[in-house]
Amino acid sequence: METKHKSDVLRRMKSIGGHVKGIERMLEEDAYCIDVIKQIQAVQAALNKVSAQLLENHLNSCVVTAIQSDSAQERERVLTEIADVFTTATKV
């Protein structure tokens, strides 16, 4: 992963971690349920953004390299990985 991209993802994850700690405090202090839910939704949206960034990076680096490879097995492997990510993402 490119250094700039990695530092951006890490910065976002640290921010998300801070938000999660804030949600923990809200729960400990018996905050209004809807307020807690809104904060949880904000964290979920932030995690989705990080996931999308990581997927984009993976597609533009690892997957491109694998597809350009002479190995049919390697091409099949990365395509299966991507399909599995989307299958997992749609499970609730």
pLDDT bracket for residue 7 (50, 70, 90): very high
pLDDT tens for each residue of 50-83: 999 999 999 999 999 999 999 999 999 999 999 9
- The CATH number that applies at residue 25 is 1.20.58.1000
Query: Within a 13 Å sphere around the CA of 42, how many CA atoms are in the beta-carbon half?
Result: 15
- Two tokens, residue 11: 């910065």
Please count the structural domains in the chain.
1
| pTM summary value | 0.84
Share of the chain above pLDDT 70, in %: 99
Sorted by sequence, the CB contacts under 8 Å of residue 37 that are 6+ apart come out as none
**Cα–Cα distance, 43 to 34 (Å, whole number):** 14
Which of 11-15, 26-30, 88-92 comes out lowest in average pLDDT?
A: 88-92
Of 90 and 22, the one with more pLDDT: 22
Q: Give the residue numbers spanning the domain of 10.
A: 3-89
